[in-house]
């Protein structure tokens, strides 16, 4: 029997909202058959980040070569670095019947929304309880300079107005609750 093609799940929202944490909890549910799309980035690895697990860390030249060869499903510049989704990897996994999660910022999410069929994907926007809460999360988890923190925050404020383009908006008030809501959303869409 032929495998049904996997669902594309776009998880977006401002930097610092907790996409990664929520996504990791969602992925523990093996019944959802999820895999994570590992992105390519020109950002330097943070402490504890692992090549090929968290990101594929590449030089600007390699990244640009991938853009030129049309290897990226989407890409965006974020606070001075580039981030992109390798196209073949996502396609291969979906063809194997896996449901692929893209955890990406809003410009990239918009590109994927415009390039893919509505029946083929779902989009989820994760929002923080408040901007103050987001600021505190960004400040606590990062070892970044003040100007970078400010840039991330300003970007986040602009991004918060884009929620109406998404199928679902999920409030990250508590990670366990938000993850539970996302699991239900995915489950509901897998049954369709």
Residues at the site binding ligand 5GP, with contacts judged by CB under 6 A: 15, 19, 39, 43, 74, 76, 78, 83-85, 103-105, 107-108
Distance between CA 43 and CA 55 in Å, rounded? 9
Report the nearest approach of ligand 5GP to the CB of residue 143 (Å): 12
Distance between CA 119 and CA 104 in Å, rounded? 20
* Pick 163 or 190: Cβ nearer ligand 5GP: 163
Sign of the CA dihedral 72, 158, 130, 144? positive
* Pick 60 or 187: Cβ nearer ligand 5GP: 60
* Pick 42 or 99: Cβ nearer ligand 5GP: 42
- Give the residue closest to ligand 5GP by C-beta: 108
DSSP, res 16: T
Report the nearest approach of ligand 5GP to the CB of residue 5 (Å): 21
Report the nearest approach of ligand 5GP to the CB of residue 4 (Å): 25
First CA to last CA distance, the chain: 19
* Pick 5 or 142: Cβ nearer ligand 5GP: 142
Helix (H) or strand (E) holding 126: strand 121-127
86 three-class SS: strand
Report the nearest approach of ligand 5GP to the CB of residue 180 (Å): 21
Report the nearest approach of ligand 5GP to the CB of residue 173 (Å): 19
Report the nearest approach of ligand 5GP to the CB of residue 14 (Å): 7
* Pick 39 or 123: Cβ nearer ligand 5GP: 39
* Pick 32 or 104: Cβ nearer ligand 5GP: 104
Mutual angle of helices 175-191 and 19-27, in 10-degree steps: 60
Helix and strand numbers, DSSP H then E, in the chain: 7, 9
Distance between CA 54 and CA 20 in Å, rounded? 10
Work out the burial of residue 21: count CB atoms within 10 Å of its CB; fewer than 13 is exposed, 13-18 middle, 19 or more buried.
Answer: middle
């Amino acid at each position: 029997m032929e495998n049904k093609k996997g669902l594309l799940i776009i998880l977006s929202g401002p930097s610092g909202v907790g996409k990664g944490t929520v996504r990791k909890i969602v992925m523990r549910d093996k019944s959802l058959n999820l895999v994570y799309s590992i992105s390519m980035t020109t950002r330097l690895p943070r402490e504890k980040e692992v090549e090929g697990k968290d990101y594929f860390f590449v030089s600007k030249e390699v990244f640009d070569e991938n853009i030129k060869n049309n290897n990226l499903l989407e890409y965006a510049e974020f606070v001075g670095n580039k981030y992109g989704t390798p196209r073949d990897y996502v396609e291969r996994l979906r063809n194997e019947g896996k449901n692929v999660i893209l955890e990406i910022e809003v410009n990239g999410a918009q590109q994927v929304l415009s390039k893919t069929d509505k029946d083929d994907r779902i989009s989820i926007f994760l929002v923080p309880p408040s901007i103050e809460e987001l600021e505190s999360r960004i400040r606590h988890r990062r070892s970044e300079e003040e100007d970078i923190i400010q840039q991330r925050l300003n970007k986040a404020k602009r991004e918060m107005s884009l929620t109406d383009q998404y199928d679902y908006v999920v409030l990250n008030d508590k990670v366990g609750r938000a993850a539970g809501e996302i699991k239900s959303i995915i489950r509901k869409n897998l049954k369709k």
